[in-house]
Amino acid sequence: MARHIRFGGLASIVVVEADDEIDALIDRPDLDRTYRVEGPPLNRLMISRLRRALFRDGSALRSFAPRGDGDRASAQGAFAKRVDALAEQRPWAPEAIAVMAAYVANGTDRNAALAALAYATAYPFLSPEDTSYEPAKFRRLFGLFEILQVARNPWKGLLPRLLGKDRHAAREILEMTGGDDYGLHAVGITLANSVVILDHLRALFVEPQTAEARATPLEWNKVRTSAVAVTRQNNVPCRLPGIPDEVPANSLILLKMRQALRPSSPDGFEFAGKHWSYCPASRYIEAIFDRVYDVAKNRA
């Protein structure tokens, strides 16, 4: 059931935590990724923090552009086509896959596995002559991701934000990913979900695998995860299911995707696969973990 939080006029935040309710709301035309610094004080504070993470040079990253943005759909489709081709090729350096597979199968050297995961995540944005796996380079890339994660915390991230550490990290990530908005999104945001998936994959191997289990493909629904939350704003006052009163304009609509995700959630729910804001890298992400799983089975 959706909840409307007001805090005596200091905020207007709608929280949605059920997968079917999220699926019903995510395409509503009056709920969009506008990131306007408007509304009650807490709303404006939260939007300002989001803009710091999701904007570049005053504009939203292409992956966070509004529904009606003229370039959003074409860029989304072009990127999906590019990484779908990579998902078919599975071109990652074998040593990077081996490091992740060793962690998944035996629990060894998680830090090395995270560096390898940063490499696989950034691979679509590396220059063709620079796609080899260099552990130190990608340990650095994962460290930059960690700086962004800390900076996005409302309280723990206050000092890093004041010192500009997050902006410096974002610039360095862009340098390593060819200046591509989608590269910054992949390393700065998607990588957080991939870390969770890697650990879910490890959990499958904690108990010894039978020969029958080793022969089966990866069941994606056992390891998938989603973004913690997706944020929308309403352009005009509106009524939402489960909310008795009208929701004022410029409220924040928090779609709690990860909390809503269940084993029975529809296929692709974690990627908003049936909606305009779908993740264009879904097949690519699944391909990374399919490959790691296949190699890990031979190590267990």
Total domains in the chain come to 1
DSSP 26-82: TT-TTEE----S-SSHHHHHHHHHHHHHHEETTEE-GGG--TT-TTHHHHHHHHHHH
The model's pTM is 0.95
> Which domain does 105 fall in, by range?
3-297
Predicted pLDDT at 267: 95
CA 192 to chain centroid, in Å, comes to: 6
Residue 144's CATH number: 1.10.630.10
Positions of the chain with pLDDT under 70: 209, 211, 300
Predicted pLDDT at 212: 74
Predicted pLDDT at 207: 79
Predicted pLDDT at 211: 67
